[in-house]
Structure 1
Amino acid sequence: MSEIQIDPALIKKYDQPVPRYTSYPTVPFWQHTIAQSAWMKEFEEQFVVENDRNGISLYIHLPFCESLCTYCGCNKKITTNHTVEEPYLLAIAREWKQYRRLMPQTPVIRELHLGGGTPTFFSPHNLERLVTTILKDCNLHPEHEFSIEGHPNNTTAAHLEVLASLGFRRISYGVQDMDPEVQRVINRIQPLANVQRATEEARGNGFTSVNFDLIYGLPLQTVAGMQATFQQVLALQPDRIAFYSYAHVPWTSRIQRLFDETQLPGPEEKIQLYLEGKKLLLNGGYRDIGMDHFALQHDELFRAREAGTLHRNFMGYTIQNSPFLLGLGVSAISDTGKAFAQNAKNLHDYYNAINNEQLAVKKGYFLNGEDRSFRRYIKDIACKGATVFNKEDRGLLETFSFPLLAQLKADGLVICDQNETILTPAGHYFIRTICSAFDLHLQRTGVSASKGLFSKAI
């Protein structure tokens, strides 16, 4: 591999707060409240459009964890009391029943993902109950895919056996870093033996795609430590690797204040961690999928990127190009393709709504034509590394997008003209910033106003 040298001045210049673009518009620009009647009408209309055409995706948020990871910005509830499983499963079943009433035809399930939190906090029996309840009286799309997030420490052979029998073939393990000191400071202690066991047992039960989540920019991380982590990881040959930038957002995730911020690597150190990790991945046979994902060439994610069918939503990159996503559970987000809705973020409010036979939706956003057009540009950049402009958007592009694109072009990060934008190899390191050129909500308010809303790009 020929290494790309990144000018430290560019790192400093573009290390600004920008979104991760799992949605557009991004959540901070949504309305604080959303009329449930309007959401229900939109849900029913778009369900009819998409169910027959593409099938629907389901995301179920399972928020419980037994221990607190201090780097985590996810919506979670820390407890060792497993009696919480029963009322949560009952609430999910009630919420699903409410949505089923809005569906005028049998749902075609194309994608089902269990996320968290720690989904494997739930017992194998209860996960089976959950999935069986959801799939009852549904049709499965011929290309359906079921996936789950697991913790290497508590994902058992029984979990994997049950999930495999239900049709799950993809699992993602949160590995983050293998250095014992880094694990200690982020309170994520997981020996290599547990990661190896969980990986081998998944494959032994028929899982065809195992993903590892790794993070760069954590406290106490060094290039030497990153090299050691990748040596251990690459020996296990996960089919996919998500190599995320640590999002330091202590204003929204106060647990991130539990470690000394002086232990965090600076922007230039952080990019070196990424460059080293990416070099090791490419030299190890992995291919760059986009923004933060890598895959071996046999994996469907790589094949989707090559075929131009890659999709990105709240679950990250996916091969299932279904515009219709229903989120169930506390804080879960739904996306009809034309509107977003997010459930209540705390369990008390979620339970209160569901137990009163109401949807738990609290906030959301209805996209206009401008939003949908610029959403496509952002998705194209993230999934294909290039986008072609609509002529009718020329005025908006000239006012809001072209000034930043001109800077990015001068810095060698994009090739662009009045008709299209293409990422350069160096531009891949700044993909979130390039996406932000098409974020009209961000450009109108000013990037400086985004401080306190988003993590820094690097």
Structure 2
Amino acid sequence: MACLTDIEWSEALIRRFDTAGPRYTSYPTADRFAPEFDEAAYRGHLAERAQASAKPPLSIYVHLPFCESLCYFCACNKIITRDHSRSAEYLGYLLREIAMVAPEMGGERHVSQLHLGGGTPTFFTLAELARLTDTLRRHLDFAPNAELSVEIDPRTVTADTLSELGALGFNRTSFGVQDFDPAVQQAVNRIQPLAMVERALGASRDAGFESINVDLIYGLPRQTVASFDRTLDEVVRLAPDRIALYNYAHLPSRFKAQRLIDASELPRAEDRLRIFMRATQRLLDAGYVYIGLDHFAKPDDELSRALRAGSLHRNFQGYTTKAECDLVGFGVSAIGKIGRSYCQSTRSVKTYYERLDEGKLPVERGLTLSADDVLRREIVMTLMCSMPLQYRAIEARHDIEFARYFEDELRALAPLVEAELVEMNEEGIRILPKGRLFVRACAMMFDQYLGRPSAASYSKLI
């Protein structure tokens, strides 16, 4: 994989291809899920997979929705409360769901990944998290090298908490930092001084966590190129193993919390672009490898090694080193992927409890993929990982003639080829180093759903 440190992306190039589009943690994307996909459909796909001769490993996602305070930028499904007794009730239902689903997965299914997301997972007590992990281990077989990751709010943890999480088997942490500037933190209602974050990262290292990720967000209110540069100074000094540099999408019509943000304080489009370009260059200069989309990792990180080896993968949890997995989601709003299907649980805690009380799985919507969906999913995910797309391999697996099947899509790629972002020849398609920032634009060419009505509001590519 070519080095990006010598590449310059002009503002004109970015503006030309900086359209709105999906992030492609799945294809088709979640806004295409339909309520016609119900519990019976989900159970049917579980049964089909359980009876298959070849069963892929499992990736488990558990959604823990509670937070003590509201971050104005947040678009996650969360419940703001200081009543910690609510976690015990939720956990009881969560364990019930796990007990209902686990027997239907079939035997010989090793768990290669577990991720606790939220919300704030550490809203739950250590005893509750221990009960959760014990239940998962009792029902499922975890691989010896399984990745166990947990999202951390630095305001909610101590060194003892992180040490206990390590004792439970967690080996990866992800910290929500966003920005170190006090004015920005005040504008988004998330006050967490640098010293607090530094102590949490240090405690993670002392506890033996193998990988530490830091989330940053650009485009927040009161941010400037200079202020975010100071945040980057500290992030580079703290040297996390991975960094996610997210673009803030201000969609107050969809996310009520964002209505509390003063839109007049958001940086102008020109400044957002300069913040992004400056941040990308700073991280590359600091030695981080650009993994894709908005993710960076140290050269010796597993993600970087997978990128070099051509074995990178992508799913609802982002970029991963693990081979294609079935993803099982537990908890409100959790999304899963079983074979050629997607499934999402209800977003309402009340409905979640009611369905489980009735002995039913809390399925709200989903999708059974057609043969064309499966074909396009392989293409989209290959491109999103900046892997070469080889026509013959696709043709053999899907019994198509690539050039004829995708005649319109290949023609639509011409502007990306002309801009030296993508290379096409008789063998396949390759994302060029200069095009790594624009993989979403390339993947969009193969998305047959984009021309259809959708309730989704996509973010800009950059």
Question: Shorter-chain TM-score category?
Answer: over 0.9
Please give the alpha-carbon distance, in whole angstroms, between the structure 2 residues aligned to 1:134 and 1:435.
35
Q: How does 1:163-178 map to 2 (within 5 A)?
A: 163-178=165-180
- Tell me the CA shift for residue 320 of structure 1: 1.7
Please give the alpha-carbon distance, in whole angstroms, between the structure 1 residues aligned to 2:22 and 2:44.
29
Residue 39 (structure 1) aligns with: 42
- Tell me the CA shift for residue 2 of structure 1: 4.9
Of 179, 192, 199 in structure 1, the residue corresponding to residue 201 of structure 2 is 199
- Tell me the CA shift for residue 341 of structure 1: 0.3
Please give the alpha-carbon distance, in whole angstroms, between the structure 2 residues aligned to 1:309 and 1:4.
24
Residue 111 (structure 2) aligns with: 109
Please give the alpha-carbon distance, in whole angstroms, between the structure 1 residues aligned to 2:129 and 2:417.
49
Given that 1:288 and 1:295 are in contact with CA atoms closer than 8 Å, whether structure 2 keeps it comes out as yes
- Tell me the CA shift for residue 304 of structure 1: 1.6
Of 310, 313, 338 in structure 2, the residue corresponding to residue 311 of structure 1 is 313
2:293 is aligned with what amino acid? M
1:457 is aligned with what amino acid? L
2:21 is aligned with what amino acid? V
2:148 is aligned with what amino acid? F
Residue 426 (structure 1) aligns with: 434
Over residues 396-425 of structure 1, what are the superposed CA-to-partner deviations in whole Å (9 max), with x where a residue is unaligned? Answer: 4212x2233112122232122354222223
Residue 14 (structure 2) aligns with: 11
Q: Superposition RMSD on alpha carbons, in Å? A: 1.9
1:2 to 1:110, Cα distance in 2 relative to 1, 3 A: closer
Indicate yes or no: 2:424 matched with 1:439. no
Please give the alpha-carbon distance, in whole angstroms, between the structure 2 residues aligned to 1:70 and 1:33.
33
Residue 281 (structure 2) aligns with: 279
Residue 89 (structure 1) aligns with: 91
Given that 2:102 and 2:139 are in contact with CA atoms closer than 8 Å, whether structure 1 keeps it comes out as no
Given that 1:55 and 1:141 are in contact with CA atoms closer than 8 Å, whether structure 2 keeps it comes out as no
> Which runs of 5 or more residues in structure 1 are unaligned?
none
Moved more, 160-169 or 334-343: 160-169
Please give the alpha-carbon distance, in whole angstroms, between the structure 1 residues aligned to 2:139 and 2:30.
33
1:405 to 1:433, Cα distance in 2 relative to 1, 3 A: same
1:30 to 1:53, Cα distance in 2 relative to 1, 3 A: closer
Over residues 359-382 of structure 1, what are the superposed CA-to-partner deviations in whole Å (9 max), with x where a residue is unaligned? Answer: 001100111111111111111111
Indicate yes or no: 2:23 matched with 1:20. yes
- Tell me the CA shift for residue 106 of structure 1: 5.5
1:410 is aligned with what amino acid? E
Of 242, 245, 261 in structure 2, the residue corresponding to residue 243 of structure 1 is 245
- Tell me the CA shift for residue 107 of structure 1: 4.0
Of 442, 452, 459 in structure 2, the residue corresponding to residue 455 of structure 1 is 459
Moved more, 265-274 or 65-74: 265-274
Please give the alpha-carbon distance, in whole angstroms, between the structure 1 residues aligned to 2:267 and 2:51.
49
1:217 to 1:420, Cα distance in 2 relative to 1, 3 A: farther
Number of residue pairs matched by the alignment: 452
2:415 is aligned with what amino acid? Q
> Which runs of 5 or more residues in structure 2 are unaligned?
none
- Tell me the CA shift for residue 451 of structure 1: 8.1
- Tell me the CA shift for residue 64 of structure 1: 0.6
Q: How does 1:15-414 map to 2 (within 5 A)?
A: 15-49=18-52, 53-105=55-107, 107-389=109-391, 390-391=394-395, 392=400, 393-399=402-408, 401-414=409-422
1:177 to 1:48, Cα distance in 2 relative to 1, 3 A: farther
Given that 1:69 and 1:187 are in contact with CA atoms closer than 8 Å, whether structure 2 keeps it comes out as yes
Moved more, 88-97 or 239-248: 239-248
2:458 is aligned with what amino acid? F
Percent identity between matched residues is 40
2:355 is aligned with what amino acid? A
